[in-house]
Structure 1
């Protein structure tokens, strides 16, 4: 089997490359830019991945990548994926995260692979926006209303609907994974979960004395990225293309994340170490995200293996080792 992964330099791309390699795939990864600073690290960590230069905003490069890879499966994970960044760069977010999905689907079709290539589109819980919450206590599912609250969420919603349109219009196998927040040791430090665990490790090592964050009250449905990437693969193996929510079915606040993270280094009261900075607060915030993974569990047999405390413990342990503060 041959697979093409866009977003190979990201958290999910790394987990997926490992999973597919274990299953014996020939793997191709799309990497943006001739001098991408992540290229050397990707080549070192995943020597079995053949890298192809391309950009989701450049349709010609995507057609070329698809023609080279001739993929049986294409996982479109690439995006401008940081919500806060999307407010500062909404046009770029629309071009890459939204229209980039169209470019990928058109590349598959124009390359004559519409009947061969199964496509996975990375949709997101940010499309729900925390509003129109019509299933209190049960979480958003595949039938819930969308109301994105950021340029990122809006762009992802376009990608989600154009993927469904190509499924219905051209009979292409396109499955959309509506994934709730999934974190792990590969998460970038610009994301709040990794920002916290990395700072906690540095505080333990005496390398910094506080962490600056935005709002602490929003609640998210957090899971482990490795579990969710396994769900992506299961969607593509399913007999028919469809939409699936992957979530833990629990929601926790950033304050709860702080409780567990600081407890890992023996600190019960984190408040003296946390400063709120208005610069990290967004024009519009999603209050709560809670997903209902019943369909994925019932149809695909998917189940998360790492719970919320286990996720925080795993991430802190990784960062303690990273900064040399373990033990």
Structure 2
């Protein structure tokens, strides 16, 4: 039974990860493979972003070392685990980080490990600040102590550093916009970014900070809104939510959303070509209505019925859940990506219908894995039917 599930899962993950080729302009330096003979260390490799960037690194010829926590679930690595070396470490332990960096001697470091969920940070501000800032400090300190000036350190930034600044711009937000974070997560990313840039200036480390706007792909968790919507739809389809109600927060916002499968090769190329102390927006330059995305998602499900036919026992319904509202939520967020395009020649190719289908298929498979047919039975759902997740260190 376990073997059948494992084989089915591998096939599913391969299918869900099938990628279109990232498009770069003809002049782009990203067409050249730069990874042969070089080591890349990826923290947070079991997460949505880290796992896809690891695959992009492998495609460009790097030897990849992935850092996982002792209790990490490594299922996201199933399709390429045999091609990488997995190292166990808690990044909150500075001595272990130093020893790990000394062993790997990475040419490139991609630091993605974090408490990576903006909404969760309002409930856990101390853990968010401590985890994100201290893990970044330990990576930078190890690089400094080992005199790794020839290595390139990519520190994952976030669009949440802009916060209230998004309301000051009539259009896409450029990198020059002031940092005005409105969440503990945004503050932690702003502080980590400033810390990294200070190490570039004071100690000569080669630091690059891509500010990620919302990035989505399979392998995510339900702490992300669209992943949670897809999860709830999949649960309704399997009869695991009774009543069949999809609960959501504020849908009036608009967000810049990028497919990680499209952008992961760009992250690798940025590490190869960007000058030290580069801060660059990474997004699609397209802003999507959350209401419209949810509408398009539920239309993909046979559980959805037109409004005048929505009284059936299994018909999916939408309902506002006030517990999902944030203390502060930016209205419109869209990235000015001219800088990343100048550096890499990347031309984003957003395909939101495809991405929504992939997310729903991913959660159909994930739900089937979590609740096998012989074990599942309908159960009532509560508005707090969520599990707190932390992106794996």
Normalized against structure 1, the TM-score is what? 0.90
Q: Would you say the 8 A contact 1:220–1:290 is kept in 2?
A: yes
2:219 aligned residue (186, 205, 212) = 186
The whole-number CA distance in structure 1 between the counterparts of 2:293 and 2:101 is 40
The residue number in structure 2 matching 1:28 is 65
The residue number in structure 2 matching 1:277 is 321
**How far 1:194 sits from its partner (Å)?**
0.6
The residue number in structure 1 matching 2:46 is 9
The residue number in structure 2 matching 1:124 is 158
2:363 aligned residue (319, 323, 326) = 319
1:56 aligned residue (70, 79, 91) = 91
Q: Which has the higher contact order (CA 8 A, sep 6+)?
A: 2
1:246 aligned residue (278, 282, 300) = 282
The whole-number CA distance in structure 2 between the counterparts of 1:182 and 1:4 is 21
The whole-number CA distance in structure 1 between the counterparts of 2:222 and 2:274 is 37
Q: Would you say the 8 A contact 1:66–1:108 is kept in 2?
A: yes
Q: Would you say the 8 A contact 2:166–2:333 is kept in 1?
A: no
2:164 is the counterpart of 1:133: no
Q: Would you say the 8 A contact 2:154–2:271 is kept in 1?
A: yes
Cα displacement string for residues 41-78 of structure 1 (whole angstroms, at most 9, x for unaligned residues): 64675222222222222211211111111100000001
The whole-number CA distance in structure 2 between the counterparts of 1:239 and 1:12 is 20
Q: Would you say the 8 A contact 1:223–1:307 is kept in 2?
A: no
How large is the RMSD of aligned CA atoms in angstroms? 2.1
**How far 1:40 sits from its partner (Å)?**
6.1
Which stretch of structure 1 is more off in the superposition, 312-321 or 186-195? 312-321
Q: Would you say the 8 A contact 1:130–1:288 is kept in 2?
A: no
* Matched length: 320
2:192 is the counterpart of 1:159: yes
2:178 aligned residue (140, 145, 152) = 145
Cα displacement string for residues 123-170 of structure 1 (whole angstroms, at most 9, x for unaligned residues): 000111143533312x11111111111110000000111111111222
Q: Compared with structure 1, are the counterparts of its residues 322 and 96 closer, same or farther at alpha carbon in structure 2 (3 Å cutoff)?
A: closer
Which stretch of structure 1 is more off in the superposition, 175-184 or 290-299? 290-299
The residue number in structure 2 matching 1:261 is 297
The residue number in structure 1 matching 2:339 is 295
Which SS does the other structure have where 2:165 is aligned? coil
The whole-number CA distance in structure 1 between the counterparts of 2:356 and 2:79 is 27
**How far 1:30 sits from its partner (Å)?**
1.3
The residue number in structure 1 matching 2:128 is 93
The whole-number CA distance in structure 2 between the counterparts of 1:303 and 1:47 is 32
Q: Would you say the 8 A contact 1:178–1:243 is kept in 2?
A: yes
Q: Compared with structure 1, are the counterparts of its residues 282 and 133 closer, same or farther at alpha carbon in structure 2 (3 Å cutoff)?
A: closer
The whole-number CA distance in structure 2 between the counterparts of 1:152 and 1:28 is 27
The whole-number CA distance in structure 1 between the counterparts of 2:305 and 2:138 is 49
Q: Compared with structure 1, are the counterparts of its residues 286 and 170 closer, same or farther at alpha carbon in structure 2 (3 Å cutoff)?
A: same
Normalized against structure 2, the TM-score is what? 0.76
Which stretch of structure 1 is more off in the superposition, 237-246 or 155-164? 237-246
The whole-number CA distance in structure 2 between the counterparts of 1:83 and 1:239 is 27
2:55 aligned residue (18, 21, 37) = 18
Q: Compared with structure 1, are the counterparts of its residues 282 and 132 closer, same or farther at alpha carbon in structure 2 (3 Å cutoff)?
A: closer
Which SS does the other structure have where 1:120 is aligned? strand
